Homo-oligomer: A and B are copies of this chain.
Amino acid sequence: MATIELADEADPRVRAVFADIRATRGNDVVNNFWRGLANNPALLERTWSALKAVMGEGHLDPLTKELVYVAVSIANGCSYCIHSHTAAARAKGLTPEQHGEFLIVVGMANQTNALVTGMQLAVDAAFLVGEQRPPTTSNI
C-alpha cells in the first residue's frame, strides 16, 4: 500500500517537526501523513507550520474549522483525511449528536448542489458581490 515509502526520523529537520507534533498534541503518535511528507523535509516543515497556524484559535473556532476540513475531505473522497480529521474533531469536542447533524448537513449540501447543477440556474443578482464589470461574451 502507498506510492511512497514512509520516511524515518534520521533527518534532523524531520526530527524537529516530529518533536513539535508530539509536543503540540501531548502524545507520542506521529501519523502516516507526516511520515509520508517527511520524504521532503521542506514540504513537511511548511505543511506542519501552516496547519498549526491555521487550525488553532483564530476568527473561527477550532472545531468549526475541523468540520470544514472533514466536509471538504468527504467531497473529495479522501478516506485517510476523513478518518484523521473526524478523529481530530472528536479530540476538539465533537459530540455524536453534532457529528450526526454535521453528516446531515453535508448530505443535504451534496443533494441540493446536484439539484442546482442539474437545473443550471442563473445566480440571483442579490447574491453577487464585488466590482461589476461590463458584460463579457462568456456563458459557461
Binding site for B on A (CB under 8 A): 1-6, 29, 31-33, 36-37, 39-40, 43, 46-47, 50-51, 54-55, 58-60, 63-65, 67-87, 95-140
CB distance from A133 to the nearest CB of B (A): 5
If A78-B117, A110-B111, A140-B120 touch, whether A101 touches B51 (CB-CB below 8 Å) is no
Contact A107 B102 (CB under 8 A): no
Counted per complex, copies of this chain come to 6
A-B contact pairs, 20 of them (CB 8 A): A1-B140, A3-B86, A3-B118, A5-B130, A5-B131, A33-B112, A37-B115, A43-B104, A65-B101, A65-B105, A81-B109, A81-B113, A82-B120, A83-B127, A84-B123, A106-B114, A107-B118, A111-B114, A120-B140, A139-B140
